[in-house]
Amino acid sequence: MLICTETETETDIPAIREIVTEAMRLLPQSTGTEAEIVDRLRAADALALSLVAEEAGRPLGYLAVFEGQIGTERGWAVIGPLAVLPSRHGEGIGSALMAEALRRLRRRYKGAVLVGEPGYYGRFGFRAVPGLTVGECPPRYIQALPFGDAMPRGEVIHHAAFGLEQPL
């Protein structure tokens, strides 16, 4: 039985590294540093949410969230990475993780943002928003899901763990 409401434990960390590394390796935009970024977020106590999907105690998927800001507006959840072991793609594990994350985030944030494939994230209500930027990333991949009426505009400011120019 798949369980995806578990917050990571210390014993999950090696499996999380493996899941993130293997899943991100399939993406052309991967830098190969995604597992290290999660480690740095964890070390900085910056993970607002760290969900593990597991089956029979074995981690199969992972989703990280940290608090970011858009322009000068704080209170936005930044999602990423969302990763599932490649051998388990297409089984709804990523969808289950995202549904659980959004359920939890709605109580605490103005909305959620991420950089990802519009065809995948659109099913959860994410969409490209004019005026939302992340460095030189093509605008169609910068997705937002406001939880209220306010539409975000401006640069999505990531945590320093990402090594971007404008870290929080």
Instruction: Tell me the per-residue pLDDT of 98-130, one tens digit each, with 9 for 90 and over.
Output: 999 999 999 999 999 999 999 999 999 999 999
Domain contains 104: yes
| Each residue's pLDDT tens digit, 131-154 | 999 988 899 999 999 999 888 899
Which of 31-35, 50-54, 103-107 has the lowest average pLDDT?
31-35
- How far apart CA 14 and CA 34 sit, in angstroms, is 14
Q: Which residues, 6 or more positions from 126, have their beta carbon under 8 angstroms from its beta carbon?
A: 112, 114, 116, 118, 143, 144, 145
**What are residue 157's DSSP bridge partners?**
69
Output the pTM of the full model: 0.90
Q: Angle 112-113-115 (CA atoms, 0-180°, nearest 5)?
A: 150
Query: How many domains are there within the chain?
Result: 1
Domain contains 109: yes
Residue 8 has pLDDT above 80, yes or no: yes
Q: Angle 106-88-162 (CA atoms, 0-180°, nearest 5)?
A: 55
H and E: helices and strands count for the chain: 4, 9
CATH number of domain containing 116: 3.40.630.30
Domain contains 168: no
> Measured between alpha carbons, how far apart are the two ends of the chain, in Å?
38
For residue 49, which of 109, 115, 89 has the smallest C-alpha distance?
A: 109
User: For the packed helices 13-24 and 34-43, what is the interaxial angle rounded to 10 degrees?
Assistant: 150
CB 15 within 8 A of CB 132: no
Domain contains 167: no
For residue 9, which of 36, 40, 42, 33 has the smallest C-alpha distance?
A: 42
Domain span holding position 50: 2-162
Q: How confident is the model at residue 165 (pLDDT cuts 50, 70, 90)?
A: low
